[in-house]
Amino acid sequence: MADRPELSVVVPAFNEEENIGPMAERLTAVLSGVGDGFEILFVDDGSTDATWDRIAALSRRDQRIRGLRFSRNFGHQAALTAGVAAARGEAVVIIDADLQDPPEVIPEMVARWREGAEVVYAQRERREGETWFKKATARWFYRTLRALTSVDIPVDTGDFRLMGPRAVAAFRALPEHNRFNRGLVSWIGFPQTAVRYHRQARAAGETKYPLRKMVRLAVDGLVGFSSVPLRLATVLGLAAAALAAAVVAAAVGLRAAGNGWAGQAAVVAAILFLGGVQLVTIGILGEYTGRILDEVRGRPLYIVRETTEEPGEPD
Ligand code: UDP
Ligand code: MG
Query: Each residue of 253-283: pLDDT tens digit?
Result: 887 887 766 677 778 777 888 888 888 889 8
Residues 6+ apart with CB under 8 A from 225: 145, 148, 149, 151, 153, 180, 183, 187
Q: Taking residues 301-310, what's their average pLDDT? A: 94
Residue 127 beta carbon below 6 angstroms from any ligand 1 atom? no
Segments of the chain assigned E as strands: 7-13, 38-44, 65-70, 91-94, 119-127, 157-163, 192-199, 304-307
Tell me the pLDDT band of 128, cut-offs 50, 70 and 90: confident
Residue 13 beta carbon below 6 angstroms from any ligand 1 atom? yes
Tell me the pLDDT band of 252, cut-offs 50, 70 and 90: confident
Residues 6+ apart with CB under 8 A from 313: none
| 96 Cα nearest atom in ligand 1 | 15
C-alpha of residue 228 to centroid of ligand 1, in Å? 29
Tell me the pLDDT band of 185, cut-offs 50, 70 and 90: very high
Residue 12 beta carbon below 6 angstroms from any ligand 1 atom? yes
Residue 73 beta carbon below 6 angstroms from any ligand 1 atom? yes
Percentage above 90 pLDDT, the chain: 63
| 158 Cα nearest atom in ligand 1 | 25
Residue 209 beta carbon below 6 angstroms from any ligand 1 atom? yes
Query: Which residue, among 57, 283, 295, has the nearest Cα to 176 in the 3D structure?
Result: 295
Residue 83 beta carbon below 6 angstroms from any ligand 1 atom? no
Task: Determine the 3-state secondary structure of 226 from DSSP.
Answer: coil
- Give Cα 234 to chain centroid, integer Å: 29
Residues 6+ apart with CB under 8 A from 259: none
Dist. CA 87–CA 67, nearest whole Å: 10
Residue 199 has pLDDT above 90, yes or no: no
* pTM (predicted TM-score): 0.87
Quick one: pLDDT at residue 1? Answer: 47
For residue 281, the cross-strand partners are none
Residue 242 has pLDDT above 50, yes or no: yes
Domain boundaries, the chain: 7-213, 228-297
**Domain 7-213 classification at class level:** alpha beta
Q: Is the dihedral of CA 187, 192, 198, 201 positive or negative?
A: negative
Is the distance from CB of 68 to CB of 86 less than 8 angstroms? Answer: yes
The enclosing H or E element of 179 equals none
| 80 Cα nearest atom in ligand 1 | 7
